[in-house]
Amino acid sequence: MSNILYVGLNCIEPILDMPTNRSIPNKRWHLAFTAIYSSRALYSLLNQKKKKKCRKLPVPSNPSFVVVNVKPEAFSSIDHTTLTAIVNEKSFNKLLEFGGIEGVADALGTGIKNGIDGSVNDVALRQEAFGSNTYQRPPAKRLFHFVVEAFKDLTILILIFCAALSLGFGIKENGAKEGWYDGGSIFVAVFLVISVSAVSNFRQNRQFEKLSKVSNNIKVDVVRNGRRQQISIFEVVVGDVVCLKIGDQVPADGLFLDGHSLQVDESSMTGESDHVEINSHHNPFLFSGTKVADGYAQMLVTSVGMNTTWGEMMSTISRDTNEQTPLQARLNKLTSSIGKAGLAVAFLVLVVLLVRYFTGNTEDENGNQEFNGSNTKADDIVNSVVRIIAAAVTIVVVAIPEGLPLAVTLTLAYSMKRMMADQAMVRKLSACETMGSATTICTDKTGTLTLNQMKVTKFWLGQDPIEDSSLISTDLLNLIQQGVALNTTGSVYRATSGSNYEFSGSPTEKAILSWAVLELDMEMEILIKDFTILHVEAFNSEKKRSGVSIRSEADHNTVHVHWKGAAEMILAMCSSYYDASGRMKDIGDGERMTFEQIIQGMAASSLRCIAFAHKQIPEEEHEIRETSQKLEEDSLTLIGLVGIKDPCRPGVRRAVEDCQYAGVNVKMITGDNVFTARAIATECGILRPDQGINNEAVVEGEVFRNYTPEERMEKVDKIRVMARSSPFDKLLMVQCLKQKGHVVAVTGDGTNDAPALREADIGLSMGIQGTEVAKECSDIIILDDNFASVATVLKWGRCVYNNIQKFIQFQLTVNVAALVINFVAAISSGDVPLTAVQLLWVNLIMDTLGALALATEQPTKELMKRPPVGRTEPLITNIMWRNLLVQALYQIGVLLTLQFKGESIFGVNEKVKDTLIFNTFVLCQVFNEFNARKLEKKNVFKGIHKNKLFLGIIGITIILQVAMVEFLKKFADTERLNWGQWGACLGIAAISWPLGWVVKSISVSKKPFLSYLRW
């Protein structure tokens, strides 16, 4: 024995001849390696009984730490540059240099079947050696970028120009000490508007960055230590074995290990739309960022993060958050139109005042004629013209509603944040507001209306229900187990013999696997070892079935074909069936009708019906068919039927009723058969119990597809349920509904749903069961896959639109009143009662604080009692025109009375009168802000206690107004008011409340008022 050990140690001497200047941890790993290698060499020598010649020992050609694969030194035989080149260059030569895919797996310390060890240290060391699966993002836009962007706005540029004019004229007329007030205040106002706008956009950008991280955090199936588990895409490391199925995004670069019928969409990388077939013989190379179009497979990860082409490409792309929504575009147009009207009025005032001045129709403070031909000094003329221009500039300032775009930004940002809390992640801003206009929702059944927690509750063999598996013949039981274990994309894992089973795969696959393992005592690992899979046809939503051909290791002369899928489709492929005793019987017309009744009976109980079928064919016949790559589909033998229960989600019926009450039609589009679809739709409230299958409310996809275009357009509104539908049928329905003028929202989770999600006005993908393809094509991701969240999104969409309308009404009331007051006063007396500073203060409290107060109102139940807003509905409705015109006329009437009669009514001088006008005008806006909370309801105080921000803003506005009047006299050009005058101002402003209550009793026409103002 000592000789053997001596020889073994001599043989590893070259390997152990390492530098002595190593760290303590490395010495420990060195000793561990020595022990492992010595024991293996000793075992080998004892078995082979070769004790003399050292050269016959299996010493590795590259003596490194290959055995110990949990240190970076373990990967010294291969580096990330080589791995990257193998896949990027699709180099078979380089791959063969490493001994093919198996050689690369060995070099990476990966077991083909069991994957990597997956311990914390193992993962950390792989990340250290090959990098993590993340990519460098372009630096986030800083606040300064948004400040610069804000300066590019035309409204801001006009205000800056006006500020410069006003500042120059003010200093010219009143000197630098007091002449800067008007121009300086405009600059301050511009600064505040830019600051609020830039900070709001900056925060929105940060919010998008956070959402982007959430949406990019894809869950990936990997095999680690023999166990299939889900991890984040960012946790994938080189050496991982990743499981891929239809709709998945390939998470990293890698090599094909095992799988069937794998086709990949590489259009994101190459631009080519044709799918690329991936296999181990001709093209085993998989690229990060591509999508699985068909089949399933396992891949070995060779490059991650920045070492992949996708990572390099994504690091140069920043998400554009400057998307302008349709509502923002309409508001920008409205702002521009009002601004143009203001400019026109200002120009008219300028012309009238100049004409009045130069024709001698104006007087100075002493009652003398201001312009007297050549007798008037040039300096006096300049000062008078400057004052006239300043009055015109003031009108321009008040006319521009710069708060409108800001209000939209605040509303959208606030609603996005709240929707995220309500399990809806917005990918496109426009979807927030479009959802409020939705008239039809086309929803999936599985996982959206139901819980997606499936369980086999019924099992039929032949024409008999089976309660006890011991009654099934052994041969038939073996066939069932083969059909379940080998025709699946799921897997079963059990750590030890006494521990619980873990099932992975789709909910349907997990339900069938758990039933077969727990009730039929299926041993999946043994079956996989005993049979070789020859060909697979993967399941997809069009075929609604999957098939596999297998050969037993014990019998190479026979090939077994197993099919599994939608019960009535599998039944149509069968000509015989097995009874419970295992005898094969022919299916005649009577038997076929019996089976159809069994299927319908289970479907009527809301069960999803799955059938298993089998055919045994000789090896010779299989070889002939193998060239066509098609499985035998005719003359199959039906093995059995299972019924899978998927209960409806709690609260889904209430959510459906809420949508219907809100005037939104809910249609269910499902791949299940018509009986299951009808049962679930009735349970969810989409169908009434009296709406049977023969009713036009329920239709099969094939029937809908075969309608003429005219028939489809006629019947599409009546359809409530479409069963056995293909993705093309869903797309066809969306197109028909849009042609009829509907605003359509569609839910989808599969790859094949992508066309319908793109075509819809609002695409809603599922966050849990949704494939990456579906998510990328959607506008909003429903994070909990729950239809109740869809109804919540609808409510938030309406809230966004409603909040914007509230602010428009409020803002336009201010603009109309201020514009008319200053215009009339300027024309009649040559002076304006509201100075630039005062008007800018009004604009600021209305634009910034008002926007914040009204834009953050939360959804109410009343919103869901209104019909949807149509595509052509004007933004400013008749109700809004009624409210704003009455309030504006009241304010104009009161303030003009004060302008012309205020001095005599209150017995005050002109300065105090102007302060009274200013104070009354501001307080009118404060009271009118309450009126704006409800466009139609008379009780404007309902729910006000819930909006603390609104009450806080009202309080701040009043405090600041008191400061403007009482303490900032010089800056605001005001005089202090006594208690009686304050009471009068409050009393006049408070009349806005009863006036608003009375006005809302006046009915309005449905025909749009000023229909040409379709902003």
Is 49's pLDDT higher than 50? no
CA separation, residue 465 to residues 636, 726, 752 (Å):
21, 31, 35
Count of alpha carbons within 13 angstroms of residue 71, beta-carbon side: 15
Is 204's pLDDT higher than 50? yes
* Amino acid 827: pLDDT: 77
Give yes or no for a contact between 921 and 891, defined as CB atoms under 8 angstroms apart: yes
Distance, in Å, from the CA atom of 793 to the CA atom of 780, rounded to the nearest integer, reads 9
Distance, in Å, from the CA atom of 297 to the CA atom of 241, rounded to the nearest integer, reads 10
Nearest to 767 by CA among 97, 223, 308, 216: 216
Is 767's pLDDT higher than 80? yes
- pLDDT tens-place string over residues 556-575: 888 899 999 999 999 999 99
Per-residue tokens: 997: 């209550």
Kindly list the catalytic residues. Answer: 444
Is 71's pLDDT higher than 60? no
Give yes or no for a contact between 1010 and 881, defined as CB atoms under 8 angstroms apart: yes
Pick from 83-92, 332-341, 816-825 the range whose average pLDDT is largest.
83-92
The amino acid occupying position 73 is E
CB-count burial class (<10 Å; 0-12, 13-18, 19+) for 506: middle
Is 254's pLDDT higher than 60? yes
The amino acid occupying position 334 is L
- pLDDT tens-place string over residues 864-909: 888 887 666 777 888 888 998 999 999 999 988 988 888 888 888 8
Distance, in Å, from the CA atom of 151 to the CA atom of 139, rounded to the nearest integer, reads 22
**What are the b/e assignments for 201-234, b being 16+ CB within 10 Å?**
bbbbbebbeebeeebeeeebbbbbeebbbebebb
Per-residue tokens: 19: 């530098």
Section 964-986 average pLDDT: 87
DSSP label at 779?
Answer: S
- pLDDT tens-place string over residues 483-521: 999 999 888 888 777 778 888 888 889 999 999 999 999
Question: What percentage of residues in the chain have a pLDDT greater than 70?
Answer: 85
Helix (H) or strand (E) holding 601: helix 589-604
Main-chain dihedrals φ then ψ at residue 565, nearest 5 degrees: 170, -160
Is 167's pLDDT higher than 90? no
Q: Which residue has the higher pLDDT, 601 or 193?
A: 601
The model's confidence at residue 733, banded by pLDDT at 50, 70 and 90, is: very high
Distance, in Å, from the CA atom of 96 to the CA atom of 153, rounded to the nearest integer, reads 61
Is 830's pLDDT higher than 80? no
Is 44's pLDDT higher than 50? no
Helix (H) or strand (E) holding 519: helix 507-520
Section 120-127 average pLDDT: 91
Q: Cα angle vertex 390, ends 388, 392, to 5°?
A: 75
Section 7-19 average pLDDT: 39
* Amino acid 19: pLDDT: 41
- pLDDT tens-place string over residues 631-688: 888 899 999 999 999 888 888 999 999 999 999 999 999 888 888 899 999 999 999 8
Helix (H) or strand (E) holding 128: helix 120-130
Section 724-753 average pLDDT: 87
Distance, in Å, from the CA atom of 156 to the CA atom of 482, rounded to the nearest integer, reads 73
Is 68's pLDDT higher than 70? no
Give yes or no for a contact between 786 and 776, defined as CB atoms under 8 angstroms apart: no
The model's confidence at residue 316, banded by pLDDT at 50, 70 and 90, is: low
Place of tokens 């002109």: 910
* Amino acid 461: pLDDT: 92
Is 460's pLDDT higher than 90? yes
CA separation, residue 642 to residues 347, 512, 606, 619, 638 (Å):
81, 9, 13, 30, 12
Question: What percentage of residues in the chain have a pLDDT greater than 90?
Answer: 27
Residues 6+ apart with CB under 8 A from 418: 796, 858
Is 255's pLDDT higher than 70? yes
Residues 6+ apart with CB under 8 A from 84: 253, 302, 303, 307, 308
* Amino acid 845: pLDDT: 67
Is 624's pLDDT higher than 70? no
- pLDDT tens-place string over residues 657-672: 999 999 999 999 988 8
Q: What does the mean pLDDT of the chain come to?
A: 81
* Amino acid 46: pLDDT: 44
CA separation, residue 706 to residues 77, 185, 699, 700, 736 (Å):
61, 69, 11, 10, 14
Is 585's pLDDT higher than 60? yes
CA separation, residue 648 to residues 445, 450, 674 (Å):
9, 4, 17
DSSP 391-451: HHHHHHHHH--THHHHHHHHHHHHHHHHHHHTTEEESSTHHHHHGGG--EEEE-STTTTB-
Distance, in Å, from the CA atom of 777 to the CA atom of 24, rounded to the nearest integer, reads 54
* Amino acid 1008: pLDDT: 65
